[in-house]
Amino acid sequence: MSRRSHIKRKAVLLIALAQAAIHLGCAGQTPPGLMGAYVLEDGRLISIRKSTDDTLRARVYSSGESRRLYPEKGLHYISGPGFAVKSPEELVVEFELDETGAASRLTWEESGMPALSGRRLGRAEDVELRSGEVTLGGRLDLPESPGPHPAIVLVHGSGDDAATDFYCYGDFFAAHGIATLTFDKRGTGRSEGIYTFDFHQLARDVVAAVDYLRSRSDVDGRRIGLSGYSQGAWVAPLAASMTTDLRYVIVNYGLIASPAEEARVETRNELRRRGVDEESLEQVDELTLAAVKVVSTGFRDGWAEFREIEERYRHEPWMDQLSGTVGKFVRYPRWAIELIGPRTAPRDMPWYYDSTELLTRLDVPMVWLLAEADESAPIELTRPALERLRAAGKPYELTVYPDADHTMLLFTEKDGERIYTGYVPGYFTAMVEAARRHSGGAAGLGRAQAIN
pLDDT in tens, 172-190: 999 999 999 999 999 999 9
pLDDT in tens, 42-63: 999 999 999 988 999 999 999 9
Instruction: Count H helices and E strands in the chain, helices first.
Output: 13, 18
The pLDDT, as a whole number, for residue 245 is 80
What confidence tier does 159 reach under pLDDT thresholds 50, 70, 90? confident
In one letter, which amino acid is 225?
Answer: G
Q: Higher-confidence residue: 12 or 355?
A: 355
Q: Higher-confidence residue: 30 or 412?
A: 412
Domains and CATH numbers, the chain: 3-121 (2.40.128.50), 124-257+354-446 (3.40.50.1820), 259-344 (no CATH)
**pLDDT at 451 > cutoff 80:** no
Please calculate the CA angle 412-418-421 and round it to the nearest 5 degrees.
50
The pLDDT, as a whole number, for residue 31 is 66
Measured CA to CA, the distance from residue 194 to residue 190 in angstroms comes to: 12
The highest-confidence range among 241-245, 300-304, 437-441, by mean pLDDT, is: 300-304
Tell me the mean pLDDT in the region 152-164.
Answer: 94
Helix (H, G, I), strand (E, B) or coil at 49: strand
The pLDDT, as a whole number, for residue 26 is 37
CA distances from 414 to 102, 420, 446 (A): 40, 11, 41
In one letter, which amino acid is 58?
Answer: A
338 CB-contact burial (10 Å; exposed 0-12 / middle 13-18 / buried 19+): middle
The pLDDT, as a whole number, for residue 13 is 41
The pLDDT, as a whole number, for residue 262 is 95
The pLDDT, as a whole number, for residue 147 is 85
The pLDDT, as a whole number, for residue 443 is 53
Tell me the mean pLDDT in the region 208-216.
Answer: 97
Measured CA to CA, the distance from residue 36 to residue 169 in angstroms comes to: 10
Measured CA to CA, the distance from residue 138 to residue 119 in angstroms comes to: 24
CA 431 to chain centre: 13
The pLDDT, as a whole number, for residue 428 is 98
pLDDT in tens, 219-271: 999 999 999 999 999 999 999 999 988 999 999 999 999 999 999 999 999 99
Measured CA to CA, the distance from residue 106 to residue 41 in angstroms comes to: 11
Q: Using a pLDDT cut of 90, give the percent of the chain over it.
A: 82
Non-local CB neighbours of 204 within 8 Å, separated by 6+ positions:
131, 132, 239, 242
pLDDT in tens, 385-402: 999 999 999 999 999 999
Question: How many CB atoms lie under 10 A from the CB of residue 359?
Answer: 20
What confidence tier does 21 reach under pLDDT thresholds 50, 70, 90? very low
Query: Would you give the DSSP letter of residue 203?
Result: H
The pLDDT, as a whole number, for residue 199 is 97
Tell me the mean pLDDT in the region 55-74.
Answer: 96
Please calculate the CA angle 33-432-191 and round it to the nearest 5 degrees.
45
**pLDDT at 446 > cutoff 60:** no
Phi/psi for 309 (5° steps) reads: -70, -40
pLDDT in tens, 110-153: 999 999 999 999 999 999 999 999 999 999 999 998 889 999 99
**pLDDT at 22 > cutoff 50:** no
The pLDDT, as a whole number, for residue 346 is 82
Sequence-separated contacts (24+) of 112-120 with Cβ below 8 Å:
116/40, 116/41, 116/42, 117/40, 117/41, 117/451, 118/38, 118/39, 118/40, 118/41, 118/46, 118/451, 119/38, 119/39, 119/450, 119/451, 119/452, 120/36, 120/37, 120/38
Query: Would you give the DSSP letter of residue 394?
Result: -
The pLDDT, as a whole number, for residue 109 is 97
Measured CA to CA, the distance from residue 300 to residue 305 in angstroms comes to: 12
**pLDDT at 6 > cutoff 60:** no
Average pLDDT, rounded, for the chain: 90
Phi/psi for 351 (5° steps) reads: -60, -30
**pLDDT at 195 > cutoff 90:** yes
**pLDDT at 452 > cutoff 50:** no
Tell me the mean pLDDT in the region 76-102.
Answer: 93
**pLDDT at 4 > cutoff 70:** no
**pLDDT at 307 > cutoff 60:** yes
